[in-house]
Amino acid sequence: MDVVILGASGYGGGELLRLLAGHPHLHSVVGASRQHVGKDIGSVHPNLRGVIRGSFVEAPDWIRLAESDCPVLFAAMPHGEFARQLPHLEQQWHAAGLTERLTVIDLSGDFRLADGAGFTQSYGGEHPCVDRLGSFVYGLSEWRRTPLAGARRIANPGCFATALQLALLPLADLGDACPGWVAVSAITGSSGSGASASDTTHHPTRANDFRAYKMLAHQHEGEVRRTLAEEGAAIEFAFVPHSAPLVRGIFATLTFPAPGLSRNTLRDAYVARYDAARFIRLVDGTPRVAAVVGSNFADIAVEAKAGSACVMIAIDNLVKGMAGQAVQNLNIARGWSEDLGLAIAGAFP
């Protein structure tokens, strides 16, 4: 056994199972789900029938995982749950001889922020284990390769946070033309709310609707501001997310005043940062959600006219915004090629 996925029955866990099935260095993956113990994985994730064999387990066998040359844990649980369980899990890892060897990647928001106050502001409530917050490397893959190399504890970014940071950060390279304030409008599909239906994700109430939510108060804003500060990017932003009649995908548009800024100059800032990035594609015109769904790619386009400029980005919220970036971070941490398990195009149309 090489990999354990906690929360494997959710959308993020299902995408991890799908992507890891094609990873050349990881040959045995075990999915844990208390809700679906004993159920065939393909019965919960029907796209994995004939691809992933086996059933969900209630709890991992850490002794067996310790036999692997590269033991990995992905935690794909609701916010707060992994942090609540972590002290007990660490005792089990110690008993199994995994403490220094296990690569842990948390897909929730539990360890993305630097302190308990930031967590409370973003997610509400007290953090279950504040003393562990500083032990996780923030895994924005394209901007954190050096600290990620060799990391054993990684906090995966949020889906909106991934899109916003990839689009915002190169603006700091514009020098005097860097905007001090950016307006951000972004849409997301229903899968971003998880596998459990709610009033806002239930098909009859969402399919023919379009609305804003958590205006100027989305929980991912804190991690974006943290990264901007760490990168020395003096950029403020106002973020309004929208719920769209899509299942998958995020499309964000950044607009800002840009007197004297040409499209070529703006585009050059993104080329300089991302030309060698395996999963960033700079496109002309507009990105398209349909072109990235199912893939780990982020498509970015820019425009500048008449004293204004915009940056647009499209990602799959479940892949580049979640499971795909988690696999990319694992590859970086282990010193493998970044695209292992991820060298797949999106499904189009």
Query: Could you list the active site residues?
Result: 159
Largest Cα–Cα distance of the chain, in whole Å? 64
Distances in Å between the Cα of 199 and the Cα atoms of 193, 206, 249 are 11, 8, 20
Distances in Å between the Cα of 90 and the Cα atoms of 41, 84, 102, 226 are 27, 11, 10, 27
Question: CA–CA separation, 253 vs 184, rounded Å?
Answer: 6
The answer to whether 223 and 156 have CB atoms below 8 angstroms apart is no
Angle at 300 between CA 286 and CA 160, to 5 degrees: 110
Structure tokens that stand for 155 in this block: 């906090």
Residue 294: phi, psi to the nearest 5? 90, -5
The answer to whether 144 and 138 have CB atoms below 8 angstroms apart is yes
Beginning with the edge strand found earlier in the chain, give each strand of the sheet holding 29-32 in spatial order: 29-32, 3-6, 72-75, 103-106, 153-155, 137-138
Structure tokens that stand for 130 in this block: 């504040």
Distances in Å between the Cα of 181 and the Cα atoms of 248, 260, 273 are 29, 16, 21
